[in-house]
Amino acid sequence: MTAISSNTSESPRSTPSKFQDEINYDELVISAAKAALLVLGVKVLSVLVLAQFFEAPIRFELWRGILPHFAFSTTPETFASIVTWSTIAMASAALVLAAATVARTTDRDRQRLWGRLIAGVVVLETLALQVFRQPQGGPSVQWQWSWLVVVTGVAGIILLAVPLWTERNETIRSAQIKADAEANTGEQS
């Protein structure tokens, strides 16, 4: 078994440059799980804070006795506000995570970047679900503010995608230079 490691990685488990079966993908999975749980946690926390802000009575219930969720006894307008602004908070968390990851230039593990990019995707998926899920009594989101979720979520994805793309091009260019150099050496000998 060949151990392939990244020259930019600080994690001994991480191997970013090639996705072949010998590669250890722990860093990718752990990073994605942490990022997704972070935005989910921000969502739940912001829902509680917003419910307090809007003075919306909130209950903890189990859907079909299994799935835990919050239930509000409030107007559709207030409910849509809580859903929308908690999703904006979620998107903001994804953007902050992306910015923090990119800012730490010594910690640019390629798998970690991919993993944290998942946060932005999760945010956009959540918004899509909220838009398509139409509860009784009115819309589930405030249309006039939902664009903030899209802009913030996409910004987070782009922030992480840029170094991933740049590094990929640099790797290809380095490989090309190395191949050219080897070819030249062969011709000279």
Partner 1 sequence: MSIRLRANGSFTKVGAIATILLILFAIPVAADVAVQNFMAAEVVTVDACFTKTPGADATSVTGFFSFDDTTTVTDDGVDLLQETSTIRAFAGDRLLYSEAVDFNNACGNDLTLTFLSTDDPAGGLALEPATGGIWDDVNVSFYLADPAGVVVPGLPGTWVEMMNVSGGVVTTPGSVVIADGTTSTMAVVVDTDDAVTIGATGTLRWIAAADHG
Binds partner 1 (CB under 8 A): choice among 6, 9, 32, 91: 32
Our finding on whether 12 is near partner 1 (CB under 8 A) is: no
Q: Which of 39, 94, 97, 149 binds partner 1 (CB under 8 A)?
A: 39
Listed in sequence order, the residues at least 6 apart from 183 whose beta carbon sits closer than 8 Å to its beta carbon are none
Residue 137 identity (one-letter amino acid): G
Nearer Cβ to partner 1 (79/108): 79
- Applying CB under 8 A, the span of 100-108, 117-125, 145-153, 176-184 interacting with partner 1 comes to 117-125
Q: Which of 28, 89, 149, 159 binds partner 1 (CB under 8 A)?
A: 28
Q: How many CB atoms lie within 10 A of CB 149?
A: 26
Question: Which of 2, 7, 106, 136 is close enough to bind partner 1 by CB under 8 A?
Answer: 136
Residue 84 touches partner 1, criterion: CB under 8 A: no
Residue placing its CB nearer to partner 1 in the complex, 77 or 170 = 77
Please pick, from the candidates 5, 17, 54, 70, the single residue that binds partner 1 as defined by CB under 8 A: 70
CB of 186 to partner 1, least distance (A): 34
3-state secondary structure labels for all residues of the chain: CCCCCCCCCCCCCCCCCCCCCCCCCHHHHHHHHHHHHHHHHHHHHHHHHHHHHCCCCEEEEEECCCEEEEEECCCHHHHHHHHHHHHHHHHHHHHHHHHHHHHCHHHCCHHHHHHHHHHHHHHHHHHHHHHHCCCCCCCCCCHHHHHHHHHHHHHHHHHHHHHHHHHHHHHHHHHHHHHHHHHHHHHHC
Q: Judged by CB under 8 A, does residue 79 bind partner 1?
A: yes
Residues that bind partner 1 (CB under 8 A): 13, 19-21, 23-26, 28-29, 32-33, 36-37, 39-40, 43-44, 47, 61, 63, 67, 69-74, 76, 79, 82-83, 86-87, 90, 118, 121-122, 125-126, 128-130, 133, 135-137
